[in-house]
Chains A and B, each alone.
Chain A
Amino acid sequence: MSISNAIPGASAAATQGASPLAINGLSVAYQKKPVLRGVTFEVNEGELIGVIGPNGAGKSTMIKAALGLIPAIGGEVLVYGKSLKSQRKLIGYVPQRESVDWDFPTNALDVVLMGTYGRLGWYRRPGAKEKAFALDCLSKVGMADFADRQISQLSGGQQQRVFLARALVQDAKLYFMDEPFAGVDAATEKAIITLLQELKRQGKTVIVVHHDLATVKQYFDSVLLLNVELQAFGPTETTFTQEQLQHTYGGRLSFLDPGSLVVSGAGGGGGRP
C-alpha cells in the first residue's frame, strides 16, 4: 500500500532501502469515538511530508500514537524496518508548543540540551561537546543570542525556534513535528521552512502536521490527507487536488479560484457528518 515515486535506490545505505516510516492499520479510539481508523502508509526517505486535515481529524493523534505516547487499539509502526521502540535514537520529535509549561525555570540553551538526553544514557550528563552542539543548533535557528534567556521571556516564534533547535540536536533521521508553524510570525515561519529544507538536503525525512492549506504546495513534497481515515497519500502535485481536499474536508472548503489552489474557509468541524 505504498505510493512510491522516489528514485529507486535513493535511500541511505545504512538503512538498506527500508522506508523511514511504515505504518500499518493504526487505529485509536477514545471511548466510543474512533479518532483514527486503519491508517496505513509508507513514506520515502528525504521528503518533507505534510499531514493535512480538518480539526479533530486525528493528525496529532496519529503522531502521538505512532510514537507510542498514547495507546492504540491496533496497528504496527516500523521505522527503517524495525519496531519504533528499538529505533528511538533515529527519531526526532517536536511537540506542540502548548504541551509544555513555559514557566519552567530554565533557559533556551538548557531546553536544547534536553534533546541530547536520549543519547546520553542513564548516567551521563551533557558535557562540553553537547553544549557546543546545542549552541550550534541554536544559531542555526537564529537564537544563539538567546541562549541564556529564561524561556518564559521568549515570544511564541522564539519558543518554536528553540523547540526546533532541540529537534536538530536530536540529530535524527526521521522527524515528527506537530504544528510547528502555528502562531508564529513571518520571520520565524521563514526560518522554519529554511531549516526543513536544510534537513531535506541532508537526506532526512520530516513529517509535519500542518494547518495552513495555502502553503502546502510550496513547502511539502508529499501530502497525507487525513480525516480519521487516510483520505489520500502521495506527491503534492497529484494528491493535493481540489477534489481530494473537498473529500477530506467534507465539502466545507470554498476555493477562491477553481484554477489555483488558493483556499479559503478551510477547517472548522471535525470528521465527516
Chain B
Amino acid sequence: MSDFWILLTGSLVAACCGIVGVFLVLRKMAMIGDAISHSVMPGIVIAFLISGTRDSLVMMFAALLFGLLTTFLIGLFQRSGIQSDASIGVVFTALFAIGVILVSLFARQVHLDQDAILYGEIAFVHWNLWEVGGVSMGPKAVWLLGVTLIAIAAVIGLFYKQFKLCAFDPALAAAIGIPVALFHYMLMGLVSMATVSSFESVGAILVVGMLIIPASTSYLLTDRLGMMIALSIAVGVASTFAGYGASIILDASIAGCIVCAAGLLFVAAFLLSPSHGLISRRLRQRKLAAETTASGARAV
C-alpha cells in the first residue's frame, strides 16, 4: 500500500510542479524557481518556532510569505540595476543561510540537525515520523498536495490568458493594462506553495528538478502551450514511476532516482524529439543539403 501512496504523492508533486514549471521556463525564470525552493526553508523553520506546531496550513502560509519576500527582494535588486542572476544568487543564499542558522541554534526545539536540513529530503523526517527512504508517506501529504494542485489549476485556469501574455510579451501586456507585476507575484506564490507541499513529502532536490526538467522536456516536444503543460505533467509522472522503480532495485534515494529519471527523459527528448530533437534536426539539415545540391539551385 505504501507503494501506492508514494506513487500518488510523487505524481501530485509532478502535477503541481509541472504546471508552474512551464511558465518558469517560458519566462526564463527557472533559477528563480530554484531560489524559491531554497528560501522558503527559513520561513518554515520560523513558522515552526513561532507556532510550535507542524500544522500544514501554518507552514504553507510561511512558505508563501517567504516565497513572495524572495520574489520581492530579487525584483528590488534587479530594478536597482543588479544583474538578474546575481540578484537571485544574493537573495536565496542569504535567506537559506538564515534558515540554517535558525536550525542550528534551535535544533533541539525543531528536532532537526544541520545535516537533515541540508539534505532536505530527510529534513522533515522527524516532523512526520517517516523512515529514511521515504516509506509510508501518510495521507496528510497527499491532502496537502491535492489542495495545492487544485489551487494551481484554478488560478492558472482562470487567468490563463494573462499568464500566457505576460510570459510571451510583457510589454504589450503592460500596454493594454494587464498588471504584469501582480501576475508575476501570483506565479511565484504558486511556486512557493508547490515547493512547500513537495518539501513535506519528498524534499528539496526533487522540487527543483520537478519544476524545471519536465517543463523543459515538454518544451522540446510541442509548439502549443496547452500541450506543453499536459506533457510536462506526463513526463513528471513518468519520472516518478520510473524513478521509484529504480530506487527499489538500486536501494537508493527515491527522490534522487526520480530526478535522474526525469533527466534521462529530458536527454531522450533532446535527442529524439520529432520536432525539436537533435537527431531530427540533423536529418532535416542533411535532407535540405541533399535537396539543394540535387536541384543545383541555391536554397532561399
Q: What is the interface of chain A, defined by CB distance below 8 A to chain B?
A: 64, 67-69, 85, 88-89, 91, 93, 95, 99-101, 104-107, 111, 114-115, 117-118, 120, 122-123, 125-126, 150, 152, 166, 170
Contacts and interface: CB of A to CB of B under 8 A. Distances in A.
Interface of B: 26, 28, 158-162, 164-165, 167-169, 171-178, 219, 222-225, 227-228
A106 B176 contact: no
Given A101-B168, A104-B168, A118 B176 contact: yes
Contacts of A118: 176-178
Contact of A95 (B28, B158, B171, B225): B171
A100 B172 CA distance: 10
20 contacts: A67-B175, A69-B174, A88-B175, A91-B176, A95-B171, A101-B26, A101-B168, A104-B26, A105-B26, A105-B219, A105-B225, A105-B227, A106-B164, A107-B224, A114-B168, A114-B172, A117-B165, A117-B173, A118-B177, A150-B223
A114 B161 CA distance: 8
Contacts of A64: 171
A106 B225 contact: yes
Contact of B175 (A93, A105, A123, A125): A93
B158 to A, nearest CB: 7
A95 B178 contact: no
A117 B160 contact: no
Q: Main secondary structure on chain B at its contact with chain A?
A: helix
A126 B160 CA distance: 11
Contacts of A93: 171-172, 175-176
B24 to A, nearest CB: 14
A65 to B, nearest CB: 12
A117 B162 contact: yes
Contacts of B174: 67-69
Nearest to B176: A118
Given A105-B222, A105-B227, 12 more contacts: A67-B174, A69-B171, A95-B172, A99-B169, A100-B168, A101-B26, A104-B26, A105-B26, A114-B161, A114-B169, A152-B223, A170-B176
A120 B223 contact: no
A69 B162 contact: no
Nearest to B218: A105
A115 B158 CA distance: 18
Nearest to B81: A31
- Greatest chain A CB density within 10 A among B164, B169, B222 is at B169
Given A104-B168, A105-B223, A105-B228, A125 B161 contact: yes
A6 to B, nearest CB: 26
Contact of A117 (B167, B178, B227): B178
A256 B161 CA distance: 51
A122 to B, nearest CB: 7
A170 B174 CA distance: 14
A93 B177 CA distance: 12
A69 B175 contact: yes
Nearest to A87: B177
Contacts of A104: 26, 167-168, 225
B26 A99 contact: no
A105 B224 contact: yes
A126 B161 contact: yes
Given A69-B174, A88-B177, A95 B165 contact: no
A99 B171 CA distance: 8
B161 A120 contact: yes
A40 to B, nearest CB: 22
Contacts of A106: 164, 168, 223-225
Contacts of B178: 117-118
A99 B175 CA distance: 13
A125 B168 contact: no
Contacts of B172: 93, 95, 114-115, 166
Contact of B169 (A85, A100, A123, A126): A100
A107 B130 CA distance: 48
